[in-house]
Amino acid sequence: MNWTRALRRVVPPAFRRIDADMLEKLEERLILADFGVQASMRFVDLVEKAARKGTARDEAGLRRILRGAIRDVFDGDGGAGAADALTVAATPPTVYLVVGVNGVGKTTTIGKLAHLLGTRGRRVMVAAADTFRAGAVEQLERWAERAGADFIRGQPGGDPAAVAFDAIAAARARGTDTVLIDTAGRLHTHGGLMDELAKVDRVTARHHPGAPHETLLVLDATVGQNGLVQAREFSRYVTVTGIVLAKLDSTARGGIVVALREELGIPIRMVGTGERLEDLKPFDPDEFVEGVLAARG
């Protein structure tokens, strides 16, 4: 992932020393890059304290302070093995519930995740628990076929929780070790549909110990701070264990990953960088930090 394309330049250009004017510009740039107010103010405060102590006086010092502060946000997260770090059930199948609002790229993300897990030796089944949009089910089925994954769907207009139930039973019967349950895209403000999502969560938990073993929230990187609102609301109904940030290309600023981790404490698991089957990568915080500090706007 080329984070230099996904972030505006964060470090103010051509400054000679850390002073009030530079700190104001730094805070503005962090906020514009979607780092969030909370993280931006904390980072600026750390830089200001370092300047007062004389441990950071110039651009090199500023970058050193920012590098450490941003990396600390992701302590213990990410790296090349992030896909393998997803929870695996003691007794198969492992069940991953995938949630998100309409239009975030959830269907394509599931197809790419199925492919990624398949390359790591997992046998994957994709379950279409969106029983109301036939087009969405057909699209998901095509992605499952491309990824070499099994596929199961419910009756049109049927109970999404029943699809999840059937998928787990089918996975057991076929010896499939991983189930990805797609859910209908829903606005986080739609209480009825959010209650339905909570039901899917409860049914999987009753049917299989520890399920869902991961609940992955797909967010559109281009929506910026609205992603925080979505994550807060989904977390009211299900236990979100990880974020998959879709559509992270040159149109997204990318700093939203800091805001999500800083303010909500939810790990960033994966980032989607394109439309190809291979365009889903584990989030690498070290790569992100270096991209932030190397960015040019």
In this predicted model, what pLDDT tens digit does every residue of 143-160 receive, in sequence order? 999 999 999 998 888 899
Which structural domains are found in the chain, ordered by start? 3-73 (1.20.120.140), 94-282 (3.40.50.300)
Asked if residue 250 lies in contact with residue 256, where contact means CB atoms within 8 angstroms, the answer is no
In this predicted model, what pLDDT tens digit does every residue of 90-102 receive, in sequence order? 999 999 999 999 8
In this predicted model, what pLDDT tens digit does every residue of 245-270 receive, in sequence order? 988 765 556 788 899 999 899 999 99
The 3-class secondary structure across 76-90, one letter per residue, is CCCCCCCCCCCCCCC
pLDDT of 206 over the 50 cut: yes
Which pTM does this prediction carry? 0.90
Residue 192 phi/psi, 5° resolution?
-60, -45
